[in-house]
Amino acid sequence: MGETADILIIGAGIVGCSLAYHLALQGASRVVVVEQDLICSGSTGKSAGGIRQQFATELNVGLSLESIRMFDRMPEELGIDPGFRRVGYLFLASTPDELMLFQRNVELQQRCGVPARIVPPDDIRRLVPFVQLDGILGGSYCPTDGYAAPYEVTMGYAAAARRRGVRFHEQRAVTGILRSGDRACGVETGAGPVHAPLIVNAAGAFAGLIGTMAGVEVPITPFRRQLFTTHPIPAFAAEPPLTIDYHRNWYFRGELGGCLFSGPKDEESTFNTNVDWEHLAESVEQAVVRLPILAEAEIHRGWAGLYEISPDNNAILGPVPELRGFYVAGGHSGHGFQHGPIVGKLMAELILTGRTSIDIGPLGIERFRAGKAVLEPMTMHQA
């Protein structure tokens, strides 16, 4: 007969674990999470952990504001230290159009109460004295942005969910979606079926494949991004802001006294999470354009993870109309970790009551068919 549940979540990254916790917190019973690998082993665990309020839409700014409040409450609510370091975020503009985009965004962000501001090159030099600013016209900066610890946060949600009765099945890949007519009714796995009248596809970069198993289109595509860290560098002793060269789609931040910097951006979709060590010299060469001090740095380690990209770089949240009982919570396009806390809470509200404390209707999957998608340009992967 297999196992039964009231609500089944596919994927145990930040979104799946936050959702499981908030479902249990809001009174749901018999919640089950199935994960093909281990908790926080996918995109969440391989992310840089960035948390920012510098987005181009009021909805994304609002999600960030609420998530940050939740990060601040985690020591009391979850009993964990999320490792939230407010080092700031600094976006660098290389063209007049980019600077104009940042100016529009800052106006929006300030209206929402975010202390972001436009900074000229002289201010950028004061913020990050060792950055090469050739071609940089200015930037936008928010001192209350920063980064946190993805593994600790996700495991904190998983542990809190377990304490409230949620069951987690790790290393149990979904191999099929069970349907009864136009309704989802469970999943098939290598260890047998799990029957449930409500399924949430929170499978991250694999959400599109899960949609295919269900016979519906979920437009989420995986793209690899490689990251590297160096051994300690004296200049990083006073930790700089997380700095993004927007034009080159490249960023860096501090990491244990050294530098964490992004590697090449894949142009083609892939599930490959290997590091191209043979191209490391090229990656360092690209990094040195903005950070000359990396020319003498020693690489400590490297890894690769997958962005889950939607067509407009915004999350896809809510039910899939053509398959009753089947929901999607994914496609965050590089900001899944930072929005994971509030997304879990809002999706739990939607599932249990049909109403949400923040209107996430604009992020429904049907927006792509209705021509109502709105591009979020402030993403670390312009797909």
Per-residue pLDDT of the chain (383 residues; tens, 9 = 90+): 689 999 999 999 999 999 999 999 999 999 999 999 999 999 999 999 999 999 999 999 999 999 999 999 999 999 999 999 999 999 999 999 999 999 999 999 999 999 999 999 999 999 999 999 999 999 999 999 999 999 999 999 999 999 999 999 999 999 999 999 999 999 999 999 999 999 999 999 999 999 999 999 999 999 999 999 999 999 999 999 999 999 999 999 999 999 999 998 789 999 999 999 998 988 899 899 999 999 999 999 999 999 999 999 999 999 999 999 999 999 999 999 999 999 999 999 999 999 999 999 999 999 999 999 999 999 865 42
**How close are the terminal C-alpha atoms of the chain, in Å?**
43
Say how far apart CA 87 and CA 142 lie, in whole Å: 9
Tell me the H-state helices in the chain: 14-25, 58-77, 96-111, 121-127, 150-163, 207-214, 280-288, 336-353, 367-370
| Strand pairing category for 183-189 and 174-180 | antiparallel
The domain 86-144+222-309 is placed in CATH, from the list 3.90.1170.40, 3.30.9.10, 3.40.50.720, 3.30.160.270, at 3.30.9.10
- pTM to 2 decimal places: 0.96
Q: Is 83 helix (H, G, I), strand (E, B) or coil?
A: coil
Dist CA 56 CA 4 (whole Å): 42
For residue 306, the surrounding DSSP H or E stretch is: strand 299-309
For residue 346, give both structure tokens.
């809002």
For the chain, domain boundaries: 3-49+150-220+312-370, 86-144+222-309
The one-character DSSP state at 10 is E
- Is residue 2 helix, strand or coil? coil
| Contact between residue 17 and residue 202 where contact means Cβ atoms under 8 Å apart | no
Cross-strand pairs, 146: 51
**What pLDDT shows up at residue 383?**
29
Give the Cβ contact number of residue 266 at 10 Å. Answer: 18
Superfamily of chain region 3-49+150-220+312-370: FAD/NAD(P)-binding domain (3.50.50.60)
